[in-house]
Amino acid sequence: MEPPAQEPTPQVSLDTAVTLSFDYLKQLGTIAMTAAAGLIALVQFVDGDRKFFLKIMIAASGMFLSALLAFFVQFSLMDRIRHGHDLLRRKEKLGYTDQGAKRLETWFESAALWILSISMGIALQALFSAGAPG
């Protein structure tokens, strides 16, 4: 009979994991907002047809939504960390469980990545089709 499997010991501390998670989400939001701003600037200087304009605006809107979702995940992560810390804890009672918050964070993070990827695809398709010979 085999002994029960032991849980693996964490390779990094909780502080490091939180810092890395927060920085990752910050980078995701920064990339999304920078790309959206670049697309909006591009539309101002390129005389494109209406289809090109609509595709770029849809892509920029998706990137903005992706950055917003990343911000919500950052906020939720920081709220959970604050609530678990004696010095930073606020007096009000949490209206949600940690498991519910983690599940929502995972869903929002996944949605942010997918929306950013799809938006980048739309933007690239619009740029390639605008540069293609008619």
CA distance 16 to 13: 5
CB atoms within 10 A of CB 93: 6
Give the residue-averaged pLDDT of 60-80: 92
Residue 116 vs residue 9, higher pLDDT? 116
Does the model's pTM come out above 0.75? Answer: yes
- Counting DSSP H helices and E strands in the chain, the numbers are 3, 0
- Our measurement of the distance from residue 92's CA atom to the centroid of its chain's CA atoms, rounded to an integer in Å, reads 28
Q: How confident is the model at residue 13 (pLDDT cuts 50, 70, 90)?
A: confident
Give the residue-averaged pLDDT of 49-78: 92
Q: How confident is the model at residue 95 (pLDDT cuts 50, 70, 90)?
A: low
On average, the pLDDT of the chain sits at 84
CA distance 57 to 80: 35
